[in-house]
Amino acid sequence: MSKLDKKYKEKEDYEIDLIGLVKAVWISRRLIISITLIFMVIGLLVALLSQKEYTASSTFVPQTAESGKNGSSLSGLASLAGINLGGVSGGSEIPPILYPKLVSSVPFRKMLLDAEISLPGSNEKVTYKKYYTQIYSPGILGIVKEYTLGLPGKLIKVFRNDSPITDSSASDQNLMIVSKEDYDLFKRLEGQLEVKSNDKEGFTSISFIMPDPKMAAQMAKFTESLLQKEVIAYKIQNAREQLKFTESQFEEKKEEFQKIQAELSNFRDRNQNIVSASVNNELQRLEAEYNFAFNIYTELAKQLEQAKLQVSKDTPVFSIIEPVTVPAEKSAPKRPLILIVFTFVGLVVALGVVFGTSTLRGLKEEWEKV
């Protein structure tokens, strides 16, 4: 057989196979339509039964007093050398790139569980933890999803026979205890809260998903305030410690100065008309102590004001680019997209069934011929 005949035969076989596939699709068109319609109905039910979700977000830029001076010059020099500092300043502060790690920490999440939110349709406020443990109802689809996705983990725990850590076993080592209830809420927070930091532009965005628009905005605002509070507390920790020490020293020396001042005043009042060497010596001694205490008191007063200014200087200022607002539209579920995806999957499954059946039928016929 020549190459031309072989090529012609391959083309003919391809055309026969293609015609056969089209013929199989046409013959099984009712089955394809039925399977596709079943998936469309499932997708429609999923779209209608899925609980609404609303996303509230905010965007801000952390700024410090040093960022305008040293930060820009260092970043410029580093960029010339091909190094990206990523917005990290030389001070003792939390860089924005670590904000997601801070938010995902256990202490931060524990504080989020205590955030107060307003119940839908009322002014009653409850904590996030109480809402999801006593009030929240996920609906039929949510219950099915929760038990379906959580079944493997529950089976693993049963076979492993895991036992939770009790308070008595952890308290001896001063360990932070996370209860099973809090751990489940932490997992829920992972899917609701998202913190992103843009290193190039220098801004940070926070988004929070909740089944009610007002609750989503409240949780996003609480997260934003809590994150900024933690960053500020870490940044000015050293300045606050210095301020606290200076204040304690200032109060101590202030009492000593006032005591010596009163003692000197009393001595002068008692010895106004007395002239003697012993009185003059005692007066000079008291005046020397007074001058010494006054100098120390004055110097500490200056240091106290400097420490207060340093706290203000080190306190980061967050410029809000996009404030938290109550979302007007839901972010999920996207019902048209769900319906389209289920329809496409149904069509693919139906074609797979038809092609698989026709392939098995052809193999069976060839086997019978042999």
Model pLDDT for residues 65-104, shown as the tens digit of each residue: 454 444 444 444 344 344 444 444 444 667 888 888 989 9
Nearest alpha carbon to residue 90 among 69, 117, 110: 69
More confident residue, 23 or 230: 230
**3-state secondary structure string across 242-261:** HHHHHHHHHHHHHHHHHHHH
Nearest alpha carbon to residue 159 among 168, 148, 167, 151: 151
* pLDDT tens-digit series, residues 110-136: 999 999 999 887 888 999 999 999 888
Write down the pLDDT at residue 129: 93
- CA distance readout (Å), 125 to 119, 215, 249, 330: 6, 10, 44, 22
14-23, 174-183, 209-218: lowest mean pLDDT where? 14-23
Write down the pLDDT at residue 89: 42
Write down the pLDDT at residue 69: 45
pLDDT at 326 over 80: yes
Residues 94, 235: contact at Cβ < 8 Å? Answer: yes
Write down the pLDDT at residue 269: 85
Query: What global pTM score does this model have?
Result: 0.61
At 317, give phi and psi (nearest 5°): -110, 125
More confident residue, 78 or 53: 53
Where exactly are the structural domains of the chain? 16-50+339-359, 54-165+176-236+317-332, 240-313
Running DSSP on this structure, what letter comes out for residue 177? Answer: P
Average pLDDT, the chain: 77
C-alpha to C-alpha distance for 109 and 187, rounded to whole angstroms:
10
DSSP 188-220: HHHHHEEEEEETTTTEEEEEEEESSHHHHHHHH
**Number of neighbours of residue 93 by Cβ within 10 angstroms:** 21
Write down the pLDDT at residue 242: 83
Q: What is the mean pLDDT of residues 152-162?
A: 50
63-67, 138-142, 174-178: lowest mean pLDDT where? 63-67
Q: How does strand 317-322 pair with strand 125-127?
A: unpaired
* pLDDT tens-digit series, residues 233-244: 888 877 888 888
| Edge-to-edge strand ranges of the sheet holding 54-63 | 193-198, 203-210, 54-63, 317-322
Write down the pLDDT at residue 75: 47
Running DSSP on this structure, what letter comes out for residue 70? Answer: I
Where are the extended beta strands (E) located within the chain? 54-63, 116-118, 125-127, 193-198, 203-210, 317-322
Write down the pLDDT at residue 115: 92
- Does the 54-165+176-236+317-332 domain belong in CATH 3.90.320? no
pLDDT at 178 over 60: yes
* pLDDT tens-digit series, residues 275-316: 788 878 888 888 898 899 889 989 988 888 888 887 777 777
Write down the pLDDT at residue 168: 46
C-alpha to C-alpha distance for 103 and 100, rounded to whole angstroms:
5
More confident residue, 261 or 360: 261
Q: How does strand 125-127 pair with strand 193-198?
A: unpaired
Q: What is the mean pLDDT of residues 315-323?
A: 83
Tokens read off for 37:
């319609």
Write down the pLDDT at residue 20: 67
